[in-house]
């Protein structure tokens, strides 16, 4: 067996949580391969609406094993809160959640450093979620980080102390004021809690699952345009959010990658700073935000909104080797007379391109739009593909032609049930 992948093709918040939760019904294993508590994945079904941050979105399916892979950076304090919040749903995370011993630990001082670095950047801040993501990945590549497997070692406290002291020197250098006392107590309590879970060699677990014909779905966090190598650098996160991250973040060989599901919204959003060519600063952007309830699932910040960006989507499809597409939040466009799609970027020298420039910040591209007719119909109760309005089908046909890939799922609302498969229609 090979592992399928679901990952975001834009700047995150494409609706990965909803779809992974939905598809988890037919997978034996769901695994997160990167990111950490910067992610906010929303699941909605029956009367439940729930946001997950580090726990994979297969957790509501009792038969599914959920793995937090080695590529993830894990905050034990947030993890404890997440598990506590899940107790009300009578699910069994002690039984079906597995955590890689190789996942890096987010320390309280990583979070402080994140805040100190952002503060020092002034107007050039990234707009980080301030969860300590960047500093933790920094320590990982500097080869001084602490891993989940370390917490059971007898000398863990010494290792912690030594890294904390390094961090404190940096915090002092940045003249950043802090009070560690209460958050440190919380951290050590959360580590004791974490010890009760299955801390495993997840690379073996996942490869053995595939070898015994179990189906595996890798769940991305963030989006391709936030990838540390291919995103709008430096306004990115600190991990590889793209398909290659599945291999390094779970210990899967490239030959073990199966279907790559690329997920995108029918328009675009971005939260935090950084270039966003199709951003709308007018009432149309406000309407997208209002109709799409575009406020961050992790930080509550209003999301920046704009039209769909084909050059960016084509780039993400290429980097990830996407094999099929899923279009989310089509219903948010239900009451637009006209819908714009950016087909090209106009560069400073006047030429047109549908390729991603080296530096979107420097290049200041002007989007060139094609205008399509809206469908002006409430699609939220439609359950069959063939019942979708013709203007929406034209929108889908147009995108499939441009992107040279099938759009196999169209999502028409936040609920699990509001998911339409093309081939069931
Ligand atoms: P993720 O980070 O990719 O999992 O996405 P988020 O959960 O951060 O943001 C997606 C938001 O859109 C959540 O509030 C979802 O409940 C909601 N959502 C998902 N799919 C749809 C859809 O098809 N239509 C609408 N209106 N909302 C959706
Ligand atoms: P999900 O998985 C949207 C953004 C932040 C910031 C930049 C760097 O829910 O799609 P970081 O905290 O990683 O240092 O922040 O990345 N960002 C996200 N934006 N969705 C996310 O995750 C994000 N995770 C990080 O807003 O601009
Ligand atoms: Mg999100």
- Per the prediction, the chain carries an average pLDDT of 96
Residue closest via CA to ligand 2's atom 16 equals 237
Residue closest via CA to ligand 1's atom 17 equals 414
Distance separating alpha carbons of residues 423 and 159, to the nearest angstrom? 54
408 in ligand 2 pocket by Cβ < 6 Å?
no
Using one digit for the tens of pLDDT, what is the confidence trace for 113-123?
999 999 999 99
Q: How confident is the model at residue 94 (pLDDT cuts 50, 70, 90)?
A: confident
Q: In what order do the strands lie in the sheet with 257-265?
A: 198-200, 97-100, 65-68, 29-32, 216-219, 3-8, 257-265, 324-328, 407-411, 419-421
3-state secondary structure of 313: helix
Best probe residue, ligand 1, of 40, 414, 417 (max atoms within 8 Å of C-beta) = 414
Q: Residue for token digits 């919040």?
A: 85
226 in ligand 2 pocket by Cβ < 6 Å?
yes
pLDDT for residue 4 is more than 80: yes
pLDDT given at position 95: 87
Output the pTM of the full model: 0.97
pLDDT given at position 93: 84
> Which of ligand 1's atoms lies nearest the C-alpha of 412?
23
390: buried, middle or exposed (CB in 10 Å: 19+, 13-18, 0-12)?
Answer: exposed
Q: Alpha carbon 302 to chain centroid distance?
A: 17
Residue closest via CA to ligand 2's atom 13 equals 237
Active site residue 13: yes
pLDDT for residue 425 is more than 70: no
Cβ-contact 44, 248 below 8 angstroms: no
> Which of ligand 2's atoms lies nearest the C-alpha of 223?
10
Closest by CA position to 237, among listed 277, 284, 270, 259: 270
Distance separating alpha carbons of residues 370 and 350, to the nearest angstrom? 18
pLDDT for residue 109 is more than 80: yes
Given the residues 13, 21, 28, 139, select the one marked as catalytic: 13
Using one digit for the tens of pLDDT, what is the confidence trace for 273-330?
999 999 999 999 999 999 999 998 778 889 999 999 999 999 999 999 999 999 999 9
Q: Which residues line ligand 1 (CB under 6 A)?
A: 8, 12-18, 40-42, 44, 293, 297, 328-329, 331-332, 411-414
Using one digit for the tens of pLDDT, what is the confidence trace for 262-278?
999 999 999 999 999 99
Measured from the alpha carbon of residue 288, the closest ligand is 1
pLDDT given at position 298: 79
Q: How confident is the model at residue 363 (pLDDT cuts 50, 70, 90)?
A: confident
Distance separating alpha carbons of residues 348 and 365, to the nearest angstrom? 7
Active site residue 337: no
pLDDT for residue 221 is more than 80: yes
Using one digit for the tens of pLDDT, what is the confidence trace for 51-66?
999 999 999 998 999 9
Q: How confident is the model at residue 359 (pLDDT cuts 50, 70, 90)?
A: confident
Measured from the alpha carbon of residue 6, the closest ligand is 1
């Amino acid at each position: 067996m090979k592992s399928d992948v679901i990952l975001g093709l834009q700047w995150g918040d494409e609706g990965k949580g909803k779809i992974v939760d939905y598809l988890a019904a037919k997978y034996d294993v769901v695994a997160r391969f990167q990111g950490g508590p910067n992610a906010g994945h929303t699941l909605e079904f029956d009367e439940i609406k729930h946001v997950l941050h580090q726990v994979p979105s297969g957790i509501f399916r009792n038969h599914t094993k959920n793995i937090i892979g080695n590529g993830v950076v894990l905050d034990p304090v947030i993890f404890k809160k997440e598990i506590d919040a899940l107790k009300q749903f009578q699910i069994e995370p002690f039984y079906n959640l597995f955590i890689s011993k190789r996942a890096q630990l987010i320390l309280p001082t990583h979070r402080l450093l994140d805040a100190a670095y952002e503060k020092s950047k002034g107007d050039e801040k990234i707009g980080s979620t301030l969860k300590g993501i960047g500093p933790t990945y920094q320590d990982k590549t500097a080869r001084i980080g602490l891993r989940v497997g370390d917490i059971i070692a007898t000398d863990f406290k010494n290792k912690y102390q030594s890294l904390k002291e390094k961090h404190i020197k940096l915090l002092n250098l940045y003249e950043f004021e802090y009070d560690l006392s209460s958050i440190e107590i919380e951290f050590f309590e959360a580590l004791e809690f974490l010890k009760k879970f299955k801390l495993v060699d997840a690379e073996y677990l996942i490869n053995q699952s595939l070898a015994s014909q179990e189906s595996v779905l890798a769940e991305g966090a963030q989006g391709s345009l936030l990838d540390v190598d291919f995103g709008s650098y430096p306004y990115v996160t600190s991990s590889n959010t793209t398909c290659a991250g599945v291999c390094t973040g779970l210990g899967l060989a490239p030959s073990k990658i199966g279907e790559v599901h690329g997920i995108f919204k029918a328009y675009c959003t971005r939260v935090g700073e950084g270039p966003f060519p199709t951003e709308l600063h007018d009432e149309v952007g406000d309407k997208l935000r209002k109709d799409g309830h575009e406020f961050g699932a992790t930080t509550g910040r209003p999301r920046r909104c704009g039209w769909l960006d084909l050059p960016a989507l084509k780039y993400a499809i290429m980097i990830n080797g996407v094999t099929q597409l899923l279009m989310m939040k089509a219903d948010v466009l239900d009451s637009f007379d006209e819908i714009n799609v950016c087909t090209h970027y106009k560069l400073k020298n006047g030429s047109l391109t549908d390729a991603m420039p080296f530096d979107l910040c420097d290049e200041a591209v002007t989007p060139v739009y094609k205008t399509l007719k809206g469908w002006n119909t409430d699609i939220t109760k439609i359950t069959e593909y063939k019942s979708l309005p013709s203007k929406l089908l034209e929108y889908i046909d147009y995108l499939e032609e441009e992107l040279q890939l099938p759009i196999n799922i169209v999502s028409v609302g936040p609920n699990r049930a509001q998911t339409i498969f093309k081939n069931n229609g």
